[in-house]
Amino acid sequence: MNFCDETRSCQLDATRWARSNCLPSPNAERACVRRAPTFVAILASDALAPSLTEKLGRAFVIRSTNWDNAVNDATEALKAKTALKQAILNAPKNKRAILLPDINFWRKCSDSLISEIQSRPADAQSIVDYFHSKYFNVDFTNPEKKYMRGAYILRENIGFQKDRIHESAYLGAKSREDKFHILNANYIFGVRRSLGEHFDVCRETGDPIKEIFDDVLTGEKSNPLSKHLNITPCDRIV
């Protein structure tokens, strides 16, 4: 679970940068064993799939299967890889619905991008386009950062605005104590992603948000009187 993020010092040798060790060199037999896979799909039994989807439904594509259908189900999951990578890694900068947090956004809505992609992963791009058009308000303006325009609206004009890479949104030591969290942080629908992204959460009026959000790792709740919060795609409040 201690996946290297390939951006900082090597986890095996702190004196070297990660990228110098990750990939095979002419004299090496294979890449570092801690280098995380770039795509993951999970096949689970009918009994196990619901609990896995509850915990990891945003991290991986999860397929309920049995031994007779396992090969076909695995093939179908892998066919969706290209569509998922396109929707996650190559999306326009203003189209980030797929990065919105599960607990602090989608589970507060009447419908969910996550459940739709789980049911039709090969249609990821059209699903993202639909939810972007439904929830994105191009005219929303951050009350403090006037240059930030456009937001995904939760309700009552509470906007989620994708912001720059943020040092506080990187994984810390505590993040690695929770195995589910480390997977949700590193993956979106099976695709390995960059860390450090977050959403600015605020009201366009600058008034208190008056909505309680949960930090999935610490269990702490946000102050409803807060006027601004930073929430990561993996449901951390930082």
Which pLDDT score is estimated for 8? 57
**Are residues 60 and 2 part of one domain?**
no
**Are residues 215 and 144 part of one domain?**
yes
In a domain, 237, yes or no: no
Which pLDDT score is estimated for 1? 43
Write out the residue range of the structural domain in which residue 29 sits.
1-36
**Are residues 87 and 72 part of one domain?**
yes
pLDDT tens profile 207-226: 999 999 999 988 999 999 99
In this prediction, residue 65 has a pLDDT band, given cuts at 50, 70 and 90, of confident
**Are residues 147 and 221 part of one domain?**
yes
**Are residues 105 and 222 part of one domain?**
yes
Question: What is the average per-residue pLDDT within 93-107?
Answer: 92
168 pLDDT more than 60: no
**Are residues 165 and 188 part of one domain?**
yes
In a domain, 236, yes or no: no
Question: What is the average per-residue pLDDT within 70-88?
Answer: 87
What is the rounded CA–CA span in Å between residue 209 and residue 98?
23
Into how many domains does the chain fold? 2
Question: What is the average per-residue pLDDT within 68-86?
Answer: 86
Which pLDDT score is estimated for 63? 87
Single out the residue of 116, 81, 93 nearest to residue 187, CA to CA. Answer: 81
180 pLDDT more than 50: yes
**Are residues 93 and 19 part of one domain?**
no
In a domain, 238, yes or no: no
**Are residues 174 and 98 part of one domain?**
yes
Going 210 to 238 to 60 to 164, the CA torsion angle's sign is positive
**Are residues 148 and 123 part of one domain?**
yes
- Per cent of the chain over pLDDT 70 is 80
**Are residues 28 and 114 part of one domain?**
no
Q: Give the DSSP H/E element, type plus range, for residue 138.
A: strand 136-141
pTM (two decimals)? 0.83
**Are residues 26 and 50 part of one domain?**
no
What mean pLDDT is reported for the chain?
84
